[in-house]
Amino acid sequence: MSKHPFSNRLLSLTLSAALVYVPLSHAGQQQEDQRKIDAETCRRLLEAVGNPSSGSESAKKHPTHNSGPTDWRIIDLSNSELNEFKATLSQAGSNDVVTMERSRLFNAEYRSALEASAPVFSIVGNSGKQGVEALLQNEVGRPEIMVAIPTTADGVNKVFGLPASASVETVRFMVDTSKKFRVLNDSRVLNYAENGRPIADVVLGRAATKTNGMFILVAHNNQGMLRFPDGSVTTVSAVYEALGKNRPGLVVSCDTINSDTVAQNVLLTNRVLDFKDIARGLEAAEQRLASDPKASVGDFLVPLAFALSDTPKTVQPTVKIVAIVIGSLIVIVALGVSMRCVLKSDRDC
């Protein structure tokens, strides 16, 4: 280094730059290539398959679902084979509602294709497209939103199984989340048993009430089992059974499609959901309802599905960008220092 200080330094800087950039830019290029391939595949599929069956009148008016998340559409995959199933889902949007036979859920490939796809809601059953359309065309009326989430250490323990010693952050998160639900119109946060009545009973009782207003339940669910902050439990199927034909309803919880007993001919969710996204989605859905009081269940689902889809589930892209920016700054500053020596023609610099 003492004989050729500048050339050695330039060499080490070039190596450092390569170390930072090669893995990052290569991965970035791979992602870009993948995006190009996906876009090309989508374009070809659109040409080859054409539009999937469309259910709503509004969707018929606007056949291209990518024009904006304002219309809902039914994608009937009841008779689709795996390839067609995947191809159709790959061009679907969050505002689409998938309908299919229950047997599809027993196949891991169908299930993973569904979970990875854009649509948030599915209807499993044999009611056919007409039945699904009738369900989605029901008027929402004045919705009743029941939010059964914990806001205390005891509730967090009962719902998520976290001991009090490890639940400080979670309690804080849930308290913050519950505030977002409280500002919704017609919402009711259920943290405790009501007058000695378990939350599960309260929920099932309200679900069974005969009224026109849509019933919406937000709760934690694991394999179809709904756990409430007072320790009471029920199932997604039981809630839908209580709803029956009394009123339209929706259980907003993580992948209710992944239940031990899958409720049929009702709205199910296809993926993991974040509580704050749910609150945001319900707020957007209420705004839609305020502008159109005669909105249907399908119309109500569109902004909800959009909010549940538009947030990245991980900070990885942000961390990647920060790493690239900081790496670039390091390389630029180090190169700048070396270039200063070149400009000064100072070989001992």
Q: Does 18 bind another protein (CB under 8 A)?
A: no
Q: Is residue 188 a contact point for another protein (CB under 8 A)? A: no
Q: Examine residue 273 and tell whether it contacts another protein (CB under 8 A).
A: yes
- The answer to whether 265 and 127 have CB atoms below 8 angstroms apart is yes
Beta bridge partners of 100: 124
Burial of 260 (0-12, 13-18, 19+ CB in 10 A): exposed
Does 21 participate in binding another protein (rule CB under 8 A)? no
Phi then psi for 215, rounded to 5 degrees?
Answer: -100, 125
**Contact between residue 269 and residue 255 where contact means Cβ atoms under 8 Å apart:** yes
Integer angstrom CA distances of residue 103 from 77, 238, 257:
12, 21, 12
Quick one: 94 or 258, whose CB is closer to another protein? 258
C-beta closer to another protein: residue 200 or 295: 200
Among 23, 63, 68, 293, binds another protein (CB under 8 A): 23
Task: Specify the residue, 46 or 334, whose C-beta has the smaller distance to another protein.
Answer: 334
Q: Out of 65, 86, 220, 280, which residue is the one contacting another protein (CB under 8 A)?
A: 220
Per CB under 8 A, does 26 bind another protein? yes
Q: Which two tokens stand for residue 231?
A: 């320790």
Residue type for 115, please?
Answer: E
**Judged by CB under 8 A, which stretch of 53-61, 121-129, 130-138, 267-275 contacts another protein?**
267-275
Distance of CA 178 to the CA centre of its chain: 19
| Type of residue at 246 | N
Question: Least separation, in Å, of the C-beta of 66 and another protein?
Answer: 27
Q: Convert residues 71-110 into a mask of x (bound to another protein by CB under 8 A) and - (unbound).
A: ----------------------------------------
314 lies in the binding site for another protein (CB under 8 A): yes
Q: Three-state SS for 263?
A: coil
Instruction: Give the residue ranges of DSSP H helices in the chain.
Output: 5-49, 57-61, 82-90, 108-116, 128-136, 153-160, 168-182, 199-207, 236-243, 275-291, 297-309, 316-344
Residue 221 CB, nearest approach to another protein (Å) = 6
Query: Which of 254, 279, 282, 301 forms a contact with another protein (CB under 8 A)?
Result: 254
Q: Which residues bind another protein (CB under 8 A)?
A: 1-2, 5, 9, 12, 16, 19-20, 23-24, 26-27, 30, 160-162, 166-167, 169-170, 173-174, 218-222, 252-255, 258, 272-275, 278, 313-316, 319-320, 323, 327, 330, 333-334, 337, 348
